[in-house]
Every structure is written in structure tokens, then in C-alpha cells.
């Protein structure tokens, strides 16, 4: 159980959170003394739809105030109902000429305090009604007895649909009618890895055991249906949760009937402490489970943080059977979905543009045509073939040394990585890569080799260099320059190195491949290959005097005491490549 907090107690916490929420949305105003967050410009002509309850369930309900959702949220302290006076003041903050609808979660305190506000306002001549949120299926009929089911994340679907209706200028009776039907068509069940913890309170209710999860846990740490040990595979868990929600043969539940062809909304709720990564994966598992076990393809899926239990690492699945709500209300299913989809500027309702189709998932088509180059740079094919083979052989021969040096200074894979590139190039040469003498074709192949056969940091560095070299050579080929091939290569090398340096901070002296590439490129400027190769050799030997500044080698202890280190294996590999090409 996560018992650490930035706030040591809940004293003043709700007040501060409401101020922070009001500051996050220009359309909101806070009636601070009453903990009422309301929409500043709520039109009197619209029915005021209001929700509320204890805090600790953020973003519920303050995060759902705004055009298209709630007119106001009335907040109690953590896990404590607001008073009837607060509820009344909340209503008065968003005056309506056409009535007030209170969405009330089915807990004793909320039902009585909102109920009291409702009756007081009725006594004063207002039109006020209550829509009860009681979507929990953890409590079966037998144990639920007369109190009935608790209000969970299904409440937020009521906030959305009823608020949307109010914005669409529906009447009080229409909203109350459909609200009651939607309320009857909601089911929710949770699965929790652990309890939440209230800042400053004891941990008397304890943590859930390491290898156990709890099904049906409430949003105030109320015990659930059962605990499961060990934690089951997610697909099994979801299958069980869906049974609690849907199974028509569960005599103690089956609160809402579901048919395969029903329009069903799925709401996945993070109870506060679950990673978004896991919530989103569980969303997919729920979609799959609904299809597999119940033949249901949901019409809408929303996933996010709606009604939390502070920091509880848990999620809940809510289903709204839109088709059933339509039957219970004589409002068409398509109309109910239209209310669900309508835009809102409430802070915490996720954006869901109007739905038109199922999730689109593509698999990548393979197969690319072999590249040809309109303008090419060519050399004598046999020479090209010989130089490339020599470079590869140099690298394969020196590989054991590179590996030895890298084992001392790094993670030991440098030699193998460079060798893998050389082996791949030899294989392509065997397939006739150099047979046309095209430099562009070879450089293009090198880009793929670095990515497909080398990988890691070194592969990426070489890949960027060869890709940028390719750009420079393609540009050079398209000009009608008569410069000798060595000069073209030298200029392109300098340009490619400049591009590479925009992607890596490594510079000369950092004991990386750049310690050879930079002096090589500089010496190559006039197109003299031998001079450049000599500079590369000296630079590779010079890495023996350099301390590492980047990457894993920086963590090797006792380096400062050593006068001479092995050469940098990457830099040495580049030097061997260059010697082969210059040969």
C-alpha cells in the first residue's frame, strides 16, 4: 500500500485541490466556502445537472463540470458527503428556470444530504429531482439487501449523458426520465491490487497480500466479493469480471440484461494508482473478452481516470447497455449515444470525436522495389569490389582485438557489432552489390546494413552517417560537376559528418568513433585518400590516451590512474575500414 504523500494529512487538501482545479479551466468558478465548483456561464434556460459527494475520488466530480456535462459539483471532505446546505448553495450557484437534477451516488450520507437539499428546495418552490447512481455489482442482491448497490464510475456516464441533455435544452422531465433509465442500465466491477491510503490516517485496514488481488473492492476500501491468490492472468481476471457484470445465470446479480446485438458503452476507470500503460492494455483485454465470451462488440470505449479511490492501484469496468436504457425510456439508442458523444469542455472527460467505425488496425505490407538512381556516381566495378572486400576482411580479422578492448572498457559487443556489418556487406557483394560500380547503391546498402545487422548506438551512428552521405552524394550526382571522384567523396563526407553531429553531442577527444571520423574528414578535404587514411590511423592510435566521456565506459573504475588505455574499439574499427578502402 502506497502510504507516502506530499500532503501529510487531508487538512485543507480539498480546498487547495479545488482552487487548483478552478485555476486550470477558465470556464470554472469556485464557491470556496461551500466547496462548490461551477460553470461560470451556465444558462438559466438549461436544467442544472449537479453531482457531488465525498472527495478523494478526483477527477470526480469537479473535473466533470463544464458545458455539456455538469453545471456544478458539490464536494465533501475526503470520503465524507457534503451537507445539504452545500448542495443547496451549489444549486443556487447555477440558477435554472427549468429545474435541478441531482445525480447522487447511493451511499447513505450522500442519499440523505442530497435528499434533504432536494426536499428543502422543493419546499421553497423549486423543481428538483434525484437520479440515483448505483452501478456496483460487487454487492449481490442477498447481501445488498435494502441499501442496494453503491455508486461507482457509472456515475460519470450519468454526468455525461444528463449534462449533454441539459446542454441540448432537454426538459427536466426528459432528463429525469432518461437519467433514471440509464441509471438502471449501468453495471460496474473493480479489481484491485491494493487499498488506497488516506494521508494522515492509520493503515488499520492493511495492505492486500503481495500475491493477491481483490475483486469488487469499493472506492473507500470497502471489501469486495472475493480475493484471488495468486494474481491470475489478466484474460482470466477480465473473464471473471465480465461474468459478474453480464452473466444472466447469476441469480444474485444479472442486474442488467445483455444481448449480443446490444449497443454497449465500455468505460475503463483507473482508480488512481495504476499505470496508464496497464489500464490501456486492460482496456484491450476487456474488448477482447466481451467479444470472446459474450459476443458483444462495444459501440464506444472510453478509458481514463474518472472516479478514483485516491491512489489505489486498481481498475474498474463499467458497462452501459444503451439498448436496454432505450427500452426502459423510449428514447432511441442512437439518441442516447448522440448525448454520450456530444462535445463537452469539462476538464477530465477524454476527447472522443464522434464515432464512425471500429478501431483501425493495419499490418504492414512487405516488399519494396529495388532502388534505382536517376543520376549515379560510378567507379570501376572491380576496384570497388576489391576495396570493399578488403575493408570487410580487415574488420573481420581485427574483431577479436576489438572485442578484447571493449570487454575491458565497455560491454564487449563492439567488435561483434562491427563484424556483423562487414559480414553482411560481404554477403551483398557475393550477390553482386558492386557489379555496376554504383557508389550510391553501396552507400544505400550500408544504411540498411547498419540498421538490420548492427543496431545499437554504433549502428545508429553509422546509419546516420551513411544516410547523410547518401543525401550528399545524391545531391552531388544531380549536379553536372566535373570534379574528380575523390573530391566528390571528400565533400560529401564532410557534409555527412556535419549532419551526424546534429544528432550526437560526441566531439573529438570523447573517445568515440568521432575521434577518427573528424580528423579523417578534415584530412580528406582536398580529396587525397592516402593523407586521409594516414590521419585516420594516427587518430585511432591516439584514442589510447583518451579518457571516456560518454556511454558505459565512463562507469569503469580506476581509469584516472592508467597512463595508457586500449584504443577505442569503435574508432579502431573505422580506421580499419578506411585502410581497406584506401588500399
* Cβ distance to its own copies smaller for residue 52 or 66: 66
Beta bridge partners of 55: 78
Residue 26 binds its own copies (CB under 8 A): yes
CB-based contacts of 282, cutoff 8 Å, min separation 6: 234, 238, 268, 315
- Closer CB to its own copies, 6 or 430, in the complex: 6
DSSP code of residue 27? T
With vertex at residue 460, the alpha carbon angle to CA 456 and CA 465, rounded to the nearest 5 degrees, is 155
Q: Does 31 bind its own copies (CB under 8 A)?
A: yes
If 0-12 CB within 10 Å is exposed, 13-18 middle and 19+ buried, where does residue 554 land?
middle
43 sits near its own copies (criterion: CB under 8 A):
no
Binding-site member from 100, 244, 324, 349 for its own copies (CB under 8 A): 349
Query: Which CB atom, from 104 or from 225, has the smaller least distance to its own copies?
Result: 104
Q: In the complex, what is the shortest distance from the CB of residue 158 to its own copies, in angstroms, rounded to a whole number? A: 17
Q: Strand 186-192 and strand 36-39: pairing?
A: unpaired
**199 contributes a contact to its own copies by CB under 8 A:** yes
Q: How far apart are CA 306 and CA 158, in angstroms?
A: 12
Binding pattern for the stretch 174-193 against its own copies, x by CB under 8 A and - elsewhere = -----------------x-x
Could you say which of 320, 447, 517, 582 contacts its own copies (CB under 8 A)?
Answer: 447
Does position 142 interact with its own copies (CB under 8 A)? The reply is: no
400 vs 505, which CB is nearer to its own copies?
505
| Bridge partners, residue 186, by sequence | 320
Site string for its own copies, 52-71 (x = CB under 8 A): ---xx-xx---x--xx----
Q: Which is nearer to its own copies, 33 or 330 (CB)?
A: 33
Q: Is 220 a catalytic residue?
A: yes
Q: Which residues are within 8 A (CB) of 410 and not within 5 positions of it... i.e. 6 or more apart?
A: 551, 552, 553, 569
**Residue 330 vs 502, nearer CB to its own copies:** 502
CB neighbourhood size of 146 (10 A): 4
Q: How far is the CB of 213 from its own copies (least distance, A)?
A: 8
Angle between helices 322-329 and 333-341 (to 10 degrees): 120
CA distance 439 to 444: 9
Q: Is 406 in the site for its own copies (CB under 8 A)?
A: no
The single residue among 155, 221, 321, 344 that binds its own copies, judged by CB under 8 A, is: 344
The residue range among 257-265, 332-340, 444-452, 530-538 that interacts with its own copies, by the rule CB under 8 A, is 444-452
Give the one residue of 357, 372, 480, 482 binding its own copies; rule: CB under 8 A: 357
Task: Tell me: does residue 515 bind its own copies (CB under 8 A).
Answer: no
**Total of residues contacting its own copies (CB under 8 A):** 142
Among positions 96, 164, 321, 348, the unique one binding its own copies when judged by CB under 8 A: 348
The span from the CA of 521 to the CA of 530, in Å, is 12
Contacts of 301 by beta carbon, 8 Å cutoff, 6+ apart: 265, 266, 268, 283, 287
- Distance in Å, CB of 390 to its own copies, minimum: 26
C-alpha separations of 269 from 54, 274, 304, 323, 494 in Å: 18, 10, 5, 22, 55
Q: Given the rule CB under 8 A, which of 326-334, 416-424, 545-553, 558-566 is the region that contacts its own copies?
A: 545-553
Q: What part of residues 302-341 is at the interface with its own copies (CB under 8 A)?
A: 302-305, 308, 310-311, 313, 315
| Only segment of 118-126, 181-189, 214-222, 387-395 that touches its own copies (CB under 8 A) | 118-126
Only segment of 51-59, 249-257, 326-334, 430-438 that touches its own copies (CB under 8 A): 51-59
Nearest to 175 by CA among 281, 267, 51: 51
Question: 25, 42, 113, 220: which one is catalytic?
Answer: 220
DSSP state of 413: -
* Cβ 249 to its own copies shortest distance, Å: 27
> What is the closest distance, in whole angstroms, from the C-beta atom of residue 366 to its own copies in the complex?
9
Partners of 49 in the β-ladder: 101
Q: Which residues contact 359 (CB under 8 A, 6 or more apart)?
A: none
Site for its own copies in 255-284 (CB under 8 A): 268, 272-284
16 near its own copies (CB under 8 A): yes
Cα dihedral 272, 276, 282, 287 sign: positive
Complex with its own copies: residue 249 or 555, whichever CB lies closer: 555
Query: Residue 376, exposed/middle/buried by CB under 10 A (0-12, 13-18, 19+)?
Result: middle
Output the DSSP codes for 192-237: ESS----TTS--TT-PPPTT-EEES--TTS---SEEESSPPPHHHH
Which residues within the stretch 370-399 sit at the binding site for its own copies (CB under 8 A)? none
Q: Using the rule CB under 8 A, which residue among 146, 204, 560, 564 binds its own copies?
A: 146
Q: Is 194 in the site for its own copies (CB under 8 A)?
A: yes
Q: Which of 436, 471, 487, 528 binds its own copies (CB under 8 A)?
A: 471
Q: What's phi and psi for 77, nearest 5 deg?
A: -75, 180
- Judged by beta carbon, residue 25 or residue 419, the one nearer its own copies is 25
Are 437 and 380 a contacting pair, CB within 8 Å? yes
Question: Which window, 164-172, 397-405, 423-431, 445-453, contacts its own copies (CB under 8 A)?
Answer: 445-453
Catalytic residue set = 220
Amino acid at each position: 500500500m502506497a502510504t507516502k504523500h506530499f500532503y501529510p494529512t487531508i487538512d485543507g487538501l480539498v480546498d487547495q485541490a479545488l482552487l487548483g482545479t478552478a485555476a486550470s479551466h477558465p470556464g470554472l468558478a469556485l464557491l470556496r466556502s461551500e466547496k462548490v465548483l461551477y460553470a461560470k456561464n451556465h444558462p438559466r434556460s438549461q436544467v442544472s445537472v449537479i453531482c457531488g459527494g465525498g472527495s478523494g475520488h478526483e477527477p470526480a466530480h469537479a473535473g466533470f463540470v463544464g458545458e455539456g456535462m455538469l453545471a456544478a459539483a458539490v464536494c465533501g471532505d475526503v470520503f465524507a458527503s457534503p451537507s445539504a446546505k452545500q448542495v443547496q448553495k451549489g444549486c443556487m450557484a447555477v440558477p435554472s428556470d427549468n429545474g435541478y437534477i441531482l445525480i447522487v451516488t447511493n451511499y447513505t450520507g450522500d442519499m440523505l444530504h442530497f435528499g434533504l437539499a432536494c426536499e428543502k428546495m422543493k419546499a421553497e418552490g423549486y423543481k428538483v429531482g434525484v437520479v440515483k447512481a448505483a452501478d456496483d455489482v460487487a454487492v449481490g442482491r442477498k447481501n445488498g439487501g435494502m441499501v442496494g448497490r453503491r455508486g461507482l464510475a457509472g456515475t460519470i456516464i450519468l454526468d455525461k449523458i444528463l449534462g449533454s441533455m441539459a446542454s441540448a435544452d432537454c426538459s427536466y422531465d426528459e432528463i429525469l426520465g432518461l437519467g433514471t433509465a440509464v441509471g438502471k442500465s449501468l453495471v460496474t466491477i473493480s479489481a484491485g491490487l491494493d487499498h488506497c491510503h488516506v494521508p494522515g490516517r492509520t493503515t488499520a485496514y492493511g495492505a492486500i497480500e503481495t500475491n493477491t488481488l481483490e475483486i469488487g473492492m469499493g472506492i473507500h476500501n470497502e471489501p469486495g466479493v472475493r480475493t484471488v491468490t495468486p494474481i491470475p492472468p489478466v484474460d482470466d481476471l477480465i473473464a471473471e469480471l465480465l461474468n459478474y457484470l453480464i452473466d444472466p445465470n447469476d441469480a444474485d446479480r444479472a442486474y442488467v440484461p445483455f444481448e449480443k446485438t446490444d449497443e454497449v458503452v465500455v468505460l475503463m476507470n483507473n482508480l488512481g494508482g495504476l499505470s496508464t500503460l496497464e489500464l490501456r492494455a486492460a482496456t484491450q483485454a476487456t474488448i477482447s473478452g466481451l467479444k470472446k465470451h459474450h459476443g458483444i462488440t462495444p459501440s464506444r470505449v472510453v478509458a481514463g481516470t474518472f472516479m478514483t479511490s485516491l491512489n489505489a492501484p486498481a481498475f474498474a469496468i463499467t458497462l452501459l447497455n444503451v439498448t436496454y436504457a432505450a427500452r426502459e425510456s423510449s428514447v432511441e439508442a442512437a439518441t442516447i449515444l448522440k448525448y454520450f458523444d456530444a462535445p463537452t469542455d469539462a476538464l477530465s472527460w477524454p476527447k472522443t470525436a464522434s464515432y464512425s467505425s471500429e478501431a483501425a488496425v493495419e499490418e504492414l505490407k512487405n516488399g519494396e522495389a529495388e532502388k534505382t538512381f536517376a543520376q549515379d556516381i560510378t567507379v570501376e566495378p572491380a576496384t570497388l569490389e576489391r576495396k570493399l572486400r578488403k575493408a570487410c576482411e580487415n574488420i573481420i580479422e581485427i574483431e577479436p582485438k576489438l572485442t578484447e578492448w571493449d570487454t575491458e572498457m565497455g560491454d564487449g559487443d563492439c567488435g561483434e557489432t562491427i563484424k556483423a556489418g562487414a559480414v553482411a556487406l560481404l554477403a551483398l557483394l557475393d550477390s553482386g552489390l558492386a557489379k555496376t560500380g554504383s557508389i550510391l547503391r553501396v552507400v544505400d546498402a550500408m544504411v540498411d546494413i547498419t540498421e538490420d545487422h548492427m543496431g545499437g548506438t554504433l549502428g545508429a551512428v553509422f546509419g546516420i552517417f551513411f544516410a547523410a552521405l547518401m543525401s550528399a552524394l545524391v545531391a552531388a550526382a544531380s549536379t553536372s560537376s566535373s570534379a574528380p571522384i575523390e573530391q566528390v567523396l571528400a565533400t560529401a563526407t564532410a557534409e555527412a559528418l556535419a549532419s551526424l553531429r546534429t544528432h550526437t553531442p560526441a566531439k573529438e577527444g570523447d573517445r568515440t568513433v568521432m575521434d577518427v571520423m573528424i580528423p579523417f574528414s578534415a584530412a580528406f578535404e582536398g580529396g587525397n585518400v592516402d593523407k586521409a587514411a594516414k590521419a585516420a590511423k594516427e587518430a585511432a592510435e591516439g584514442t589510447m590516451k583518451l579518457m571516456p566521456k560518454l556511454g558505459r565506459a565512463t562507469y569503469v573504475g580506476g581509469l584516472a590512474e592508467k597512463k595508457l588505455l586500449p584504443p577505442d574499439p569503435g574508432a579502431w574499427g573505422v580506421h580499419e575500414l578506411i585502410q581497406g578502402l584506401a588500399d
